[in-house]
Structures are given as structure tokens and as C-alpha cells.
Amino acid sequence: MIILDIAMLISILINILADSSIPALKGNLMCKITAFITNMTACYVNWLMANYGVVNLKRVGTSLISTLIQIQEACHSTNYPMTFEQIDHPYGYVIYTTTLQTAGKNLSTPHIKDFGYVFLNNVYQGMLNKGNPTSINLNGANAGDILRILVENGGRQAYWTINDYKGLFNTTFDGITLQNWIQCGVNLTEASINSLTGNFDSIIEDNSEDLSSLAATSQPGVFTGQFTANQLQDTFFNSTGWGKGQLFVNGFNLGRYWPLYGPQVNDKIE
């Protein structure tokens, strides 16, 4: 766990260093923030130091999956899940999809690396973690249901093994190995993230997926908001009260936040 945290910290430091020369964050400029949120306890951004205040966020689309599908890369169909490395998508997120052939309960991914967000017909079921838990109860799942697992690379090991392959690996449902997977990397480039939020004022709720509005409000998703940086000053994002996710400002990837585990509770932006 400590190894993972150091890797995450380094990757975030690299992101911040790379972003420190962004002129867009210096001066009186309109900034657009975008966040993937897995937990909806707080749906606002608290900017400190420069005192940009609280930014209200609004949801883009109905579910995290239906929105991320809009920025997925070329997909690969195989019998057993491919690794991130096999599909040439070494970092970030990959969406794994299959159709259940039987009803059942116990979805088990003993070799998952590193995290998996499980969706059944685009409704969030919970998180798999290479540490614990590597299984989840899909009570009420039926044959024909669409199972999607958004797998996240949590950072590469600096030692122990150089072959730190990421992905879903063999996955069973009530003991039967699931086959016929489609895997698609999520494109997190600046242009791609900006394409999701486009013109902020004209964000259209994507209702193409069948999801009740009640379920949608408690579901993870992509959220976006705007603030004006009216003075040239360092600032940071206070993630206290948030779940787990990824933060972008003006399409630039600032890295992950996960205040429950840290270490990065306040993502600093210069």
C-alpha cells in the first residue's frame, strides 16, 4: 500500500510540475474544472489560498460510463480480458464490457490491478480493489445484463517487479470464468476532456442510457464547473469530503484525489 501511495504521489508531482507553466491559470482567466467523482457526498470545489471560493459542479451525462464511452479509444474484442499493456494503454482507465450469460451473484476478480468500478446496466455497484475486496455481490443480476468494469491503474511499482501488468485478468461469476470481453481505453488528452464539457452553457444531459433520475443523482459521474481566476496566485483544491476521482483544470490532468487515503488531500496548483 505504501509503494502504491509513493507511486501515486510521484505521478501527481510530475503532473503538477508539468502543469506549473500553464499560462491559463495565471491572470484574470475563466477556468473550467472537470472531475470524475465516485462518491457524491460533496459536489462543489473548494479553492483555497487564492480564495476562488466554492464552485458548483453540474453533471455531464447520466452516468460515468455513458459519458466516458464518448471519449473511449479503439476497442478490442477478445475471449479473456487483455491487459492495459496489450492494448497499448499503459496509464489511466480501461472500460471492460461483457454480457452475462447466466443469472448469479458473486463477481470475483482475484488478480485485478488496481481498482475496478463495477456497473451493471450502467448502474454503479461498488469498487473492487487489488488489496480488498476483489469480489462483489451482484445480487439480482440476470442473463443478458451488461457488466462493465472501469479498471484504473493506481500507479506503477518502483521495485518488486518490473512486470507490473494492469487490467482485469480472469474474472468469474459464481465460479464460472466470464468470456467475450470488449476493452476500450479512456482518452484523457486535453482535447478529449474538453470535448466532454465543450461549451459549458450548452451541456446537454445525455439520456440515451436507461437510468432513472433517482439512481442518477447517487451515481458516480463526470462533473464540471467554472470559476474566474482574477489574480495571479497559487491555489489548491481541497478534496475533503470527496470520494475518489480524477481532477482536470482547462483539460489538464491534475491527477487523482482520494482524501480518505491521502496523501494528496489538497492538490496544489501553481
Ligand X SMILES: *[C@@H]1O[C@H](CO)[C@@H](O)[C@H](O)[C@H]1NC(C)=O
Binding site for ligand X (CB under 6 A): 39, 41, 46, 48, 73, 80, 106, 108, 111, 135-137, 169-170, 187, 189, 191-192, 238, 240-241, 243, 259-260, 266
Contact by Cβ (8 Å): 153, 114? yes
CB of 170 to ligand X, least distance (A): 4
CB of 81 to ligand X, least distance (A): 8
Q: Which is nearer to ligand X, 106 or 157 (CB)?
A: 106
Residue position matching grid coordinates 492495459: 84
CB of 243 to ligand X, least distance (A): 5
What are the cell numbers at 53?
Answer: 471560493
Q: Which is nearer to ligand X, 136 or 249 (CB)?
A: 136
Closest CA to 233 of 268, 264, 207: 268
Conformational region of residue 140, where left means phi above 0, alpha means psi within -120 to 50, and beta covers everything else: left
Q: Which is nearer to ligand X, 69 or 136 (CB)?
A: 136
In order, the DSSP letters of 95-159 are: EEEEE-SS-EEEEE-TT-BSEEEEEETTEEEEEEESSS--EEEEEEE-TTPEEEEEEE-----SS
CB of 230 to ligand X, least distance (A): 20
Q: Which is nearer to ligand X, 157 or 266 (CB)?
A: 266
Q: Which is nearer to ligand X, 101 or 266 (CB)?
A: 266
Helix then strand then coil, in percent of the chain rounded to 5, is 15, 40, 45
CB of 27 to ligand X, least distance (A): 24
**What is the C-alpha R_g of the chain?**
19
In order, the DSSP letters of 68-85 are: HGGGEEEEEEESSPPPTT
Q: Which is nearer to ligand X, 27 or 241 (CB)?
A: 241
Q: Which is nearer to ligand X, 129 or 170 (CB)?
A: 170
**Cis peptide leading into residue 133 (ω within 30°):** yes
CB of 19 to ligand X, least distance (A): 18
What are the cell numbers at 237?
Answer: 483544491
Residue position matching grid coordinates 509503494: 3
CB of 60 to ligand X, least distance (A): 16
